[in-house]
Amino acid sequence: MTRTITIEPVTRIEGHAKVTVHLDDGGKVRQARLHINEFRGFEKFCEGRMFYEMPQITERICGICPVSHHLASAKACDDILGVQIPRTAALLRELMHMGQTIQSHSMHFFELAGPDLLLGFDAPPAKRNVLGLASANPELALKAVQLRRFGQDIIARVGDRRIHPTFAVPGGVNKALRVEDRDAMLAEIPRMIGYVQEGLAIMRSWIDAHRQEMDSFASFPTAYMGMIGPQGALELYDGSIRVVDARRQHMFDFDGRRYLEHVAEHVEPWSYLKFPYLRSLGWPQGVYRVGPLGRLNAAQSMATPLAQKEYQAFHQLCGGQTVQGSLYYHLARLIEDLYALERAGQILEDRDVLGTDLRASGDVSRPEGVGVIEAPRGTLWHHYTVDEHGQLVKVNLIVATGNNNYAMSRAVEEVARAYLVGDITEGHLNRIEAAIRAYDPCLSCSTHAVGSMPLEVAVYDARGAEVLRKARYGGL
């Protein structure tokens, strides 16, 4: 008897998704798929808008990382103007981006994925969330809230609003930083670094206690991609893009503006989320991973001292072999969180951050503009084509989570094969979700053109009759 298991919606991730697992006659997993189930159509409905509206419109793609879209869009607009933005503007944009990295990474570790690690994959689903965490460890929950608050606070001090700021404009930014805001942010950084280090200590002790699970859970080889700065150091705001193979051997670097020469997207009929791959290797040989693990594998170092120490320890974890298990994303994410705090401190100590030369002026001088940035979840591209007045003719977006689409689907398949044998428990199904959660997918982003993941599993026999349904309904 063949059976199909459906998990819908997947929770504690951003957006809408479902998982289907097909079992063969022997009860073995024949196929497992992650379906992304929504489409909003930004690429179409932005046609005809003026290019300079895009930093405001496209941040509505995602409320968790609006700053990524805001800044990638502004960079595409800079490109259309053909200008180099003033140093102060670049520093302030990067500072805002660090604020976003801190809030997004911190929220994911403590509020979304943390309950799996801290309360357990098999903890009762009614308790396995941030409120359960708050009851179990109120002191830690308060620190988690404050860490996220600090990241949001940076965004608001720089750009006036925590969510959907109106700050970056073509050619620069529209507001200088006030001395009192700089001082207030600087004063809090040491305490916030301490909180992230506590998170790192929790993660490391979890790794020690679950070593086998770390190394076997959704572990598979792929290439990796991430932005780099000088000397190959990890970079989040501006730099070239590096690709390394599954053994971290350097493949090639490229200017992100020339992405069409290097990256292509494949479409499967069962998902609204496309599957990017390396054009030179083709689909599916050219699949790669992005985001914290992708970046730590692509980069040769990290540019701040505490993060650099963590980076070195990270690469010694697997005896010098490439760190490839999906659960290591959590550790990589916290190391980046630490980097973002240190880097925010460096920017705030830079005298130019208080400068008032904020914007380079220019007219539409190129028919196309590409902006690329490392969003919390990975490499993000905005590509606009305009007419001579700056009215948009075409819009193409490759969104961070999309780059990990193959990896998330593969992770689902690996975990389904490993755990869906014999009796299927709620904890087993949660592990499938946890495999997706490791990638911290943002499905609103991915379904700008997508959408949300809650969980329901139904098992049907070959004639379509329902034989088993497991779901998580409300009622704490």
Partner 1 sequence: MPGKPRIATDWLAGCAGCHMSLLDMDERLLDIAQAVELTSSPITDLKHPPEEGVDVGILEGCINNSATEQVARTMRARCRILVALGDCAVFGGVPTMRNSATCAQALRRAYVESESTVDGRVPDDPELARMQNARAVGQVVDVDINIPGCPPPPEAILYVLSELAAGRKPRLSGKLLDWH
Of 302 and 438, the one with the shorter C-beta distance to partner 1 is 438
Taking CB under 8 A as the binding criterion, the range among 41-49, 75-83, 173-181, 223-231 that sits at the site for partner 1 is 41-49
Cα 416 from Cα 404, distance rounded (Å):
18
When the beta carbons of 38 and 374 are compared against partner 1, the nearer one is 38
- Determine the longest span between alpha carbons in the chain, in angstroms: 71
Among 12, 70, 105, 428, binds partner 1 (CB under 8 A): 12
Site string for partner 1, 219-258 (x = CB under 8 A): ----------------------------------------
**Window of 4-12, 80-88, 180-188, 246-254 that interacts with partner 1 by CB under 8 A:** 4-12
Give the three-class secondary structure for 72: helix
Instruction: Among 444, 446, 459, 460, indicate the residue that binds partner 1 (CB under 8 A).
Output: 444
Of 138 and 221, CB closest to partner 1: 138
Residue with Cβ nearer partner 1 (125 or 199): 125
Rounded to whole angstroms, how far apart are CA atoms 253 and 306? 26
| Among the residue ranges 54-62, 183-191, 197-205, 340-348, the one whose residues contact partner 1 (CB under 8 A) | 54-62
Which of 359, 365, 381 shows the shortest CA–CA distance to 82? Answer: 365
Per DSSP, the three-state class of 213 is helix
**Residue in 21, 80, 141, 399 binding partner 1, rule: CB under 8 A:** 141
Q: Residue 30, interface with partner 1 (CB under 8 A)?
A: no
| Of the residues 55, 66, 345, 441, which one makes contact with partner 1 according to CB under 8 A | 66
**Token pair in block for residue 426:** 């709620």
Residue 366 within binding range of partner 1, rule CB under 8 A: no
Minimal distance, residue 412 CB to partner 1, in Å:
14
Could you tell me the two tokens for 39?
């489409």
Tell me which H or E stretch contains 192.
Answer: helix 179-209
What is the DSSP track for 332-398? HHHHHHHHHHHHHHHHHHSGGGG----B-------SEEEEEEEETTEEEEEEEEE-TTSBEEEEEEE
Q: Does 179 bind partner 1 (CB under 8 A)?
A: no
Position 139 contacts partner 1 (CB under 8 A): no
Nearest Cα to Cα of residue 243 among 234, 252, 235: 252
Q: Which one, 85 or 442, has the nearer CB to partner 1? A: 442
Site membership for partner 1, residue 472 (CB under 8 A): yes
Is the CB of residue 88 less than 8 Å from the CB of residue 356?
yes
394, 421, 467, 468: residue in contact with partner 1 (rule CB under 8 A) = 394
Per rule CB under 8 A, is residue 16 in the interface with partner 1? yes
210 binds partner 1 (CB under 8 A): no
Amino acid at 350: D
Q: Considering only residues 82, 136, 163, 355, which one is a binding residue for partner 1 as defined by CB under 8 A? A: 163
Cβ–Cβ < 8 Å for 429, 475: no
CA distances from 266 to 136, 274, 284, 286, 291 (A): 44, 6, 9, 11, 20
Q: Which of residues 257-286 bind partner 1 (CB under 8 A)?
A: 259-260, 263-272, 274, 276, 283
To the nearest whole angstrom, how small is the minimum distance from the Cβ of residue 447 to partner 1?
A: 9
323 vs 408, which CB is nearer to partner 1?
Answer: 408
CA 382 to mean position of chain CA atoms: 16
- Asked whether position 136 contacts partner 1 by CB under 8 A, the answer is no
Residues 6 or more apart in contact with residue 37 via CB below 8 angstroms: 16, 17, 18, 272, 447, 450, 451
Alpha helices for 4-137 (secondary structure H): 42-45, 54-57, 66-81, 87-106, 114-119, 130-136
Alpha-carbon distance of 286 to 279, in angstroms, equals 7
Return d(Cα 102, Cα 18) in angstroms, integer.
28
Site for partner 1 in 96-135 (CB under 8 A): 107, 111-112, 125-126, 128-131, 134
Instruction: Say whether residue 38 binds partner 1 (CB under 8 A).
Output: yes
CA 409 to chain centroid = 16
Q: Assess contact for 441 and 433: CB atoms under 8 A.
A: no
Q: Applying CB under 8 A, which part among 208-216, 299-307, 323-331, 446-454 lies near partner 1?
A: 446-454
Closest CA to 436 of 472, 474, 406: 406
Site for partner 1 in 372-391 (CB under 8 A): 383
Find the shortest distance in angstroms from Cβ 48 to partner 1. Answer: 8
Which residues ranging from 319 to 348 are in contact with partner 1 (CB under 8 A)? none
Q: Binding segment for partner 1 among 90-98, 171-179, 191-199, 441-449 (CB under 8 A)?
A: 441-449
- Residue 213 binds partner 1 (CB under 8 A): no
Closest contact distance (angstroms) between CB of 441 and partner 1 is: 12
Q: Total binding residues for partner 1 by CB under 8 A? A: 85
